[in-house]
Amino acid sequence: MRAAVITFPGSNCDRDMVVAIERIGGTAPLRVWHGDTALPDGLDFIALPGGFSYGDYLRSGAMAANSPIMREVVKAAEAGVPVLGVCNGFQVLAESGLLPGALMRNRSQHFICRDALLRVENTDSVFTRGYEQGQTITIPVAHHDGNYFADAETLDRLEGEGRVAFRYTENYNGSQRDIAGILSASGNVLGMMPHPERAVDAAHGGTDGKVLFASILGLLEAA
Amino acid sequence: MKVRVHISLKPGVLDPQGRAVHHALEGLGFKGVEDVRIGRTISLTVADDTNDEQLDEMCRKLLANMVIEDYRIEKVEG
């Protein structure tokens, strides 16, 4: 399993992502810088971490979505490589067009930092196959711009195609239809605002994120 | 050439920031404020031969997020 974690200027959850992948997968992921123009060969998994890439200039994720490495990430995603975007990573995926919709300022205007209860809505994807349909999991959220918006037609399509991966059991941030995470049409791109990499160790206060990484890394029995 | 790009949220997209400012104006005692929507203005200085199509592309590719925002291009004299 060859995984890579992309770091943008202003990413601040990249190390957490690296630690989570290494702890669960047993192999340290490769680190890739935003200005790189090529990805390492033969990647099986790419993670875009949380943070404040480019200081959230213009819009969260907008600058990172146009950085050199993202052209390669888009190509890899189109070729079927699983791509996970967490928090700012989700914002980058939405801005890059790999996922539909946009992440707007939280309805409350407040930065939200807390444990979030999520309902697992899809158990078919490479990311979510280790969970049970309808299972409630606890994963921390920490964001200012997590309010998922898409037009009604797009939301209907996402729901109709089973592409809502996770929903908040309580709508913390104003997201349309309580959406916390969505999948691409091909199912190999997942964007989610909650941080599964912050729920992989008992010391984190919970380990519900482990299954997600074990699913991607093909290690479900170990979770 | 100087160009101003005015970016606003599409009609129907909730603007929590605008709503908060609306409440604040009411709190200050201003009457008759019906709605507040907040956008942004980006000022650019571009080569004089930059055409409308190029400006449009700048807006669509980066300056505005077409999922939630509309834009208007204003060419500023001088």
Q: For position A168, what pLDDT does the model report? A: 98
Count of domains forming chain A: 1
pLDDT at A223 over 60: no
Convert B45-65 to b/e letters by CB count within 10 Å (16 or more is b): eeeeeeeeeebeebbeebbbb
- Angstrom CA distances, A12 to A57, A81, A145, stand at 16, 24, 16
Collapsed DSSP state (helix, strand, coil) of residue A168: strand
Mean pLDDT for A197-214 is: 96
Collapsed DSSP state (helix, strand, coil) of residue A204: helix
User: What does the pLDDT look like over A55-85, one tens digit per residue?
Assistant: 999 999 999 999 999 999 999 999 999 999 9
Q: How far apart are CA A58 and CA A39, in angstroms?
A: 26
Q: Which domains does chain B have, with CATH numbers?
A: 2-76 (3.30.1280.10)
Collect all residues from B whose CB is shorter than 8 A from any CB in A.
Answer: 13-14, 16-17, 20, 61-63, 65, 67-68
**Interface touch A105/B17, C-beta < 8 Å:** yes
Q: Choosing among B8, B19, B65, B70, which should be mutated to test the A contact, i.e. which has the most A CBs within 10 A?
A: B65
Report phi then psi at A24, rounded to 5.
-85, -40
Comparing alpha-carbon positions, the chain A residue that sits nearest to B21 is A109
Q: Which helix (H) or strand (E) holds A143?
A: strand A136-143
Confidence of residue A17 (pLDDT cuts 50, 70, 90): very high
Which residue bears the tokens 């200027």?
A: A9
Examine the residue annotation and report whether A197 is marked as an active-site residue of this protein: yes
Chain A residues whose CB is inside 8 A of the B16 CB are 105-109, 147, 174
Which residue bears the tokens 């404040």?
A: A52
Whichever domain contains A154, its CATH number is 3.40.50.880
Q: What is the DSSP letter of A22?
A: H
pLDDT in tens, chain B (78 residues): 999 999 999 998 989 889 999 999 999 999 999 999 999 999 999 999 999 999 999 999 999 999 999 999 999 976
Among B16, B17, B67, beta carbon nearest to A102: B67
Q: Which amino acid is at A120?
A: V
Q: For position B78, what pLDDT does the model report? A: 61
Query: In this structure, are residues A194 and A148 in contact, taking their beta carbons and an 8 Å threshold?
Result: no
Closest CA to A114 of A168, A163, A190: A168
Collapsed DSSP state (helix, strand, coil) of residue A59: coil
Chain B residues whose CB is inside 8 A of the A66 CB are 61-62
User: What does the pLDDT look like over A34-46, one tens digit per residue?
Assistant: 999 999 999 999 9
**Interface touch B67/A149, C-beta < 8 Å:** yes
Share of chain A above pLDDT 90, in %: 96
Comparing alpha-carbon positions, the chain A residue that sits nearest to B12 is A151
**Interface touch B68/A174, C-beta < 8 Å:** no
- Angstrom CA distances, A32 to A14, A38, A41, A68, B39, stand at 10, 9, 12, 11, 35
User: What does the pLDDT look like over A139-188, one tens digit per residue?
Assistant: 999 999 999 999 999 999 999 999 999 999 999 999 999 999 999 999 99
How many residues does the structure list for chain A? 223
User: What does the pLDDT look like over A79-121, one tens digit per residue?
Assistant: 999 999 999 999 999 999 999 999 999 999 999 999 999 999 9
Q: Choosing among A54, A58, A112, A173, which should be mutated to test the B contact, i.e. which has the most B CBs within 10 A?
A: A58
Mean pLDDT for A123-151 is: 97
Share of chain A above pLDDT 70, in %: 99
Confidence of residue A20 (pLDDT cuts 50, 70, 90): very high
**Interface touch B62/A58, C-beta < 8 Å:** yes
Examine the residue annotation and report whether A221 is marked as an active-site residue of this protein: no
**Interface touch A106/B62, C-beta < 8 Å:** no
Q: For position A221, what pLDDT does the model report? A: 66
